[in-house]
Structure 1
Amino acid sequence: MTRASYYKGSKRQNLSKAAIVSDRSAERNIRSAWESFVTADRPDGVKPDHVRDDILASWQRSMDLGVDAGTFGSRKITDETEVLLRRERNAHLRKAASAAFKRLEPHLSDAKSILLLADDQGVIIDAIGDESVLDEGQGIHLEIGGQWDEKVIGTNGIGTALRTGKPMYVHASEHFVEGVQAWTCAGAPIRNPFDDSVIGVVDLSGPPDIFRRHNVALVLAAAREIEIALAELQRQDRTQLLEAFLQSKYSHSDNSVLLLDREGRILFRRGVDEKTFPASDQLLVGHKLLPDPEAVSEKDLPSLLPPNVEAQGMERLILDNSYRGAALFLRSELPKMRPAGGGLSIQPRRDVTEDAIRIIGASPKMLEAIELAERAAKVNVSVLIQGETGVGKELFARLIHSRLGRADAPYVPVNCAAVSGDLIGAELFGYVDGAFTGAVRGGRAGKFEQADGGLLCLDEIGDMPIELQPYLLRALEQRAIYRMGDNTRRPVDVRLVAMTNRDLRSEIDKGTFRRDLFYRIGVVTIEVPPLRERGKDISALIEHFSAHYAAQIGRPQMAFAADTIDLLESYRWPGNVRELRNVIQRIYLVGSGPVVCIGDLPPELRDDFDEPEADSLESILSGNSGDLESIEASAIRRTILAEKGNLTRVAAVLGISRPTLYRKMRQYRIDRG
């Protein structure tokens, strides 16, 4: 070993020893402060400098709540039935957490740690990890059924995270109760994607020697992963509820309607706004309106609904012989205004034209995406918009922007794919004078600063260089940026909307996109459906673009022949809405007659229409056509056609479950129409 390497090794050892001594000294100081606090006549007068403000505030709350600091452990719900009911009541939360827990479980035994899931009252409903630590935790009821709310056990990772709504680590003597001070824990709140309310906590606990401040980052990432899974489960619930409603005889009614899930929460609303209902702020998506729609009778509704809200009736909704929720029809005094073809007209801002922010569509998936965007706009969270090229992702970013509180809120778009990797950092964060060769004299503000107080839209986020992603993550977490070549912290208040046509999860697997950034930008994920999955929206879009280009060019609006409409509705539209818009524009530029016929369409559409009819089912099954996937896809298409789109019958005929049928349809891109 060289003298230099020996010197470096010795220096590292000395630094490590110094850090241990420093940590022990800090723990002694906190222990001393705790003893002074719990024994003082007036603990509110104790203000130790070395105790964090959040911990001191929690100590004070614990004292005010009458928690006994000399307790040896928490309490446990001994009634197994009550614990079982709590776990069932939080089935969605447990299901959403299962993937994150399964992914982390193999790493916990080596780390002498346990991972806990608690409900909104601080009761532990799931626990995994090192078996020896789990056994030791039973001594203080750090186990399923254990109660860890602050009012029961004082300052701790679960209860204090619930109380503050913030990630929290509590180490050793920072716990209020002496019997828990042999532990360290880090907890992060889990928020409901509907209304941003705290519905649980994920917590990492273990002996004091596992303490690391960055344990908070781990549980925060797990909480974000759980929230994304919760949003997906809720999306599935909304889809099933919408499908049940659309299959019912009430879906074509012009009444204002609220769709309620099985727990009485509003998942969807139509024709309900501040113009038609003065109490519309009490009819928001995510609000629990009724205690149990299945058990509520219509005569009970007047006493359960908000004042000035009158029900015309309520119908239970069934899908696949399973109760999915209820449709509540409301009586309004004002006429409901809806744009032709369904969808949404967005109030324009600044230099945005009305046409640029008009969303056309009334298909279930489109209405679902609009509702989710409306909800996301009400809470200050990052939004990820996913969809194929040309589906209209920016319209949803414009929708969120139009709902921001400030009338002059800036809208700043950035195409990450259009800026070179060398310059995108300067584009986003700005730079100071002399930061690099070619920099503008005096420096320049970046897009983050330009978007301060408004919305920053990052298009093609999947193309952002991997080496720049940590800086974006830091800017979002700290709500501040540093210009290139500068160490001055610049606070920014920016709502981020990211857009992509890529599968970011596969990019994570490839190592080209950071997992932690994905969870940070995807608090709410909106899936914009491709045009081929939007059914009759195609006709509405044809009518919309036809009227637009007729007015723009100054010629009478053209009519579309029935077989032309059939062709346009059956075409796959690889370019989605953008391709459809371009087709209609071309027709108005080169078409001559008042009626659009098949011959007026571009060659690629006519060629697709003129392809020979597919082989018969008999020839396919006899093995004369294609591979196994082609045979399976063709069988599904023909069965859907034979059963007139009734997917329950299709699944029965094919001998597969309905979820399997849905998966196969997505795999082969098959429409139920």
Structure 2
Amino acid sequence: MPDNSSYSDDDTRDAWERFVSSPKDVDKGPAKVREEIFDSWRRSMDSGVDASRQSANKVYDENEFFLRRERNAALRRAASAAFKRLEPHLKEAKTILILADDQGVIIDAIGDRRVLDEGQEIHLELGGDWSEKAIGTNGIGTALKTGRPAYVHASEHFVEGVQAWTCAGAPILDPFTQAVIGVVDLSGPPQIFRQHNVALVMAAAREIEIALAEQKQVERTQLLEAFLMSDYGRAHDGVVLVDQTGRVLFRRGLADDLLRRAKELTVGHKLLPKLEGLSDQDIPKLLPLSVEAKGVERLKLEGVDRGAALFLRDKSTLQRKAGETCKIKPRANVAEGQSQIVGSSPKMVDAIGLAERAAQANVSVLIHGETGVGKELFARLIHSRLPNDKAPYVPVNCAAISGDLIGAELFGYSEGAFTGAVRGGRAGKFEQANHGVLCLDEIGDMPIELQPYLLRALEQRAIYRMGENVRRSVDVRLVAMTNRDLRQEIEKGHFRRDLFYRIGVMTIEVPPLRDRGNDIVELLEHFSQHYAEESGRPPMTFSDKAIESLLRYQWPGNVRELRNVVQRFCLIKTDSFVTERDLPPEILEEFDNEDADALEHILGGNSGDLESIEASAIRRAIIAEDGNLTKVAQVLGISRPTLYRKMKRYHIRKF
């Protein structure tokens, strides 16, 4: 940690100016700049932060800010004692003490009134967003990003408009999970520059963590007492107590085998979403597949719901096979036959079971999986299990609609809302999906500026058409789908964290085909039978060696690629027996053909799936260039990071 004598504002500002003007020319941190500061500068630059900006962003929506503070009520309560104790010492010290949440948004601030007023100019105030990805290097955002205390002085800030300030931040850790849940920060003009400022905020952070732990302990004790005093306290052996946030506080009478299969029952684990808004009928449907609730008892403290007791029984013997649960009936008023999800591997059984539970629980669902795994079938499965047979099912591909039109597509528009608007206006997909399912495919591609409106529609269960102020209530079950890692998209600033938690109350992971074992054989038989019925010819059968090769293949295009392979056999083979010699070259990995690099060869011998074509091209380039990935990237016309990402996606090894 630098002291007053070692820090030179002129040297630091000179290093900052050189870095922001020519970042590629600076290979390592300047001698006068601390390593942790220079690393943060790099992250800020990579995140696209504008170094010339003059202030942070701010949450202006009062409702959104209120909900944010409500979500962090326990953190604010734990911080209140420390803040109250320190407040008298800050009033004339040209210093303010700040509490920020796990996204770097300021939720409480106290201290010198003049400094609080000056902070408003840069949005160092309630609602200000001081995450590193939004405003660059600063005490709050850098402590949040690194999980370590951060001291940032004057020109060490990445953004020019903040360089008239000094700040010291310390992360606050959850006493159960040790995850960073907030930051306590001391800020003011450069004159408050002191090394012991870091010690002060670290001490405050520890005090807040102790208060949080004490809160949890008191709450745990009170809930246990409430449970033991209830009529159920002695009546059941297998019981789990959860607090109002859905976190496990206590358990007893559960079999060891059940605990091994259901890690979610560990004390401190978040077993359920926030209980507020969940009915007693919803809660059992959100439990792990391996357990079943025989009953739910709400636990009250001073007349207010503060948790629940869940009485469990082992459900391992009650699991049904996938084939018994995955029939999908046709949609009302749609000319289609019955569909089916084929597979009995454990991961598919779990995914199908979760989808069926999701249909029973009135919660938003996020379906995650690679391209081609069949995510829409799971959305259709949820829809087909709704009590109302005529409930609408409205699919929307967020990646297929331009950013300018997606708002009108989702929410509708009034007459004259924009050039080309139809007379009388038009209802959007939300209204069309009323009392049914709205399926948003590729939700990771939704423009960031539209995401707050989607969040508001889901929370308020109402929409406003573009160009009008009429509130329209909607009752929509949202099913979102993506092949992206939305947590990474959040870190990149491409997806809102609050929207992620709103749409992902229940997340279904659809496994890739390479992880489904003998499901490949079941799918071969299923598609062979399907295309045989279409073409009026006998179903395809496969030699043992052909099946061995198909089981070894990584299937980058997943079920869609396998379906295309079977369809290709039905179209080009004159008989119905498939041998190893009939398989496409990318499955056999026959790269020694002298024409292997020809596009006609790649396309002609491939299943036709875009992902498998791309994977095949990468494999061939690696062979041709003797594993030199720099040359491979040049040949394919892509960057090396892109090549590495695609190799990871398609499970391609260098050799």
TM tier relative to shorter chain: 0.3 to 0.5
Q: What TM-score, normalized to structure 2?
A: 0.46
